[in-house]
Amino acid sequence: MGYTIAEKILGQHANGQPAKAGDIVVAAVDFAMMHDARAGNALQMIEKLKTGNANIQLPYVKQTALVLDHYSPPPTIEAANTHVAMRAFADHHGAHLYDVGDGICHQVLPEGGHLTSGDLVVGTDTHSTTYGAFNAFGTGVEGTDVAAVMMTGRLWFRVPETIRIELNGPLQAGVWAKDVTLHMLGRLGAEGANYQALEYCGSGVSAMAIDDRMTLANHAAELGAKAALLESDDKTVAWLKAHGAATPRPVFADSDASYSQRIVIDSAALAPQVARQHRVDDVVSVTEVVGQKIQVALIGTCTNGRLDDIRQAAAILKGQRLARGVRMIVTPASRAIYLAAMKEGLFEILTAAGASVEAAGCGTCVNITGHYISGDDQVVISTANRNFKGRLGNPQSQIWLGSAATVAASALTGIITDARTVAGGNWRAAA
């Protein structure tokens, strides 16, 4: 009987043998991350550990990173003090530290070479599924869990069932992984994969560049997935090598592995998708909502703040001006992306078009830093992963979700627009 990627990775990290969905294992964790929004709780748990037993040591702390990305820059004294505590902790114990402006946790971990194919990685964030783009089992946990990893290098896991999703055929130009994940949300519903892992496979995935694969794994969090695993191929291995990661140990599913569900998507025929206000799973094809007015356009977050997203936006806005009355903000997912985009001249294009570029971080995702508020009845089109009412600070405004292509094309025209109908909208990432 065969095994899924999740069963293999978790099992290998527990006793060297594949586990079975439903098993509880105590597995060795390769890397753990905590970010500033949850660090308060995590540091408290570490204190609690020590108070109960003075002999407690944290030998695995060097396999962890502390990331200052949510409150970046810190909008309150409390947040600034959390940052002070995190820096002090990292210095004292020798944990990796990513400071304000370095970027979003899910971007800086892979870029920093902290994970490789076959790894087991946890983070204090639901979008830790992103690491699955590199064939690593990445999953979200809480402060107690990170404390336990720092102390023991291990954690308990319930081995999840897996839904296998096959993408049949490369996406058309102007269609992105974001459109695939939105389509999946429309199909399964938010939390439709609660407790489960996803395995994305097929020619549609192989054709994707790494940036797009990261979107695929990242956005699985809105489906409630515990992990989202892609296969490791030449592109994965080359990317990991370029970023100084450990030698990949690719893990493949067996052909006779058992899945809770198998889904095949005709990805070659997929049109751009849009999630309408307040619900990530109220998804329609862009063609159904073309013409809807928008006033704010946001490109960024751990879902779509990567170089290819910014390149795509620049391809559409090159030599153009945003529609009158539209405000656009671009927030790169990391300092490395920021630098690369700057070198390529993309910020010049975007700034000339009327967009603002902000420092790397969670920025445009949620109203933490307090400067993405929109007015009553304004419509925001964003590349973020969530559009819950009030997420950007005003419950009277609306957030719609789409790819960077859809957002840039809509910013250009002032109405929701199918990027395939504007110049530059069919720009393609070099895969």
Contact between 103 and other proteins by CB under 8 A: the answer reads no
Least distance from ligand SF4 to the Cβ atom of residue 70, Å: 6
**Distance from C-alpha of 136 to C-alpha of 285, rounded to nearest angstrom:** 31
Helix axes 346-353, 335-343, angle to 10 degrees: 80
**Distance from C-alpha of 166 to C-alpha of 314, rounded to nearest angstrom:** 31
Size of residue set near ligand SF4 by CB under 6 A? 12
- Those residues with Cβ within 8 angstroms of residue 173's Cβ, 6 or more apart along the chain or in another chain: 420, 426, 427, 428
Look at residue 381 and give the partner it binds from ligand SF4, other proteins, none, a contact being a CB closer than 5 to 8 Å depending on partner kind: none
**Distance from C-alpha of 382 to C-alpha of 416, rounded to nearest angstrom:** 11
Look at residue 99 and give the partner it binds from ligand SF4, other proteins, none, a contact being a CB closer than 5 to 8 Å depending on partner kind: none
**Distance from C-alpha of 334 to C-alpha of 176, rounded to nearest angstrom:** 20
- What DSSP string describes 204-233? HHHTS-HHHHHHHHHGGGGGT-SEEEE---
- Those residues with Cβ within 8 angstroms of residue 2's Cβ, 6 or more apart along the chain or in another chain: 253, 254, 255, 256, 257, 258
Whether the bond into 73 is cis, omega within 30 of 0: yes
Closer by beta carbon to ligand SF4, 58 or else 136? 136
Look at residue 385 and give the partner it binds from ligand SF4, other proteins, none, a contact being a CB closer than 5 to 8 Å depending on partner kind: ligand SF4
Out of 21, 27, 104, 416, the only residue in the binding site for ligand SF4 (CB under 6 A) is 104
> CB under 6 A: which stretch of 224-232, 267-275, 361-369, 403-411 binds ligand SF4?
361-369
Least distance from other proteins to the Cβ atom of residue 143, Å: 6
Least distance from ligand SF4 to the Cβ atom of residue 353, Å: 24
Contact between 323 and ligand SF4 by CB under 6 A: the answer reads no
- Those residues with Cβ within 8 angstroms of residue 222's Cβ, 6 or more apart along the chain or in another chain: 181, 185, 190, 280, 281, 385, 386
Closer by beta carbon to ligand SF4, 94 or else 390? 390
Out of 194, 247, 356, 396, the only residue in the binding site for other proteins (CB under 8 A) is 194
Out of 140, 305, 402, 424, the only residue in the binding site for other proteins (CB under 8 A) is 140
Q: Which residues bind other proteins (CB under 8 A)?
A: 13-17, 19, 23-28, 41, 45, 48-49, 52-53, 55-56, 126, 140-145, 147-148, 151-154, 156, 191, 194-195, 224, 226
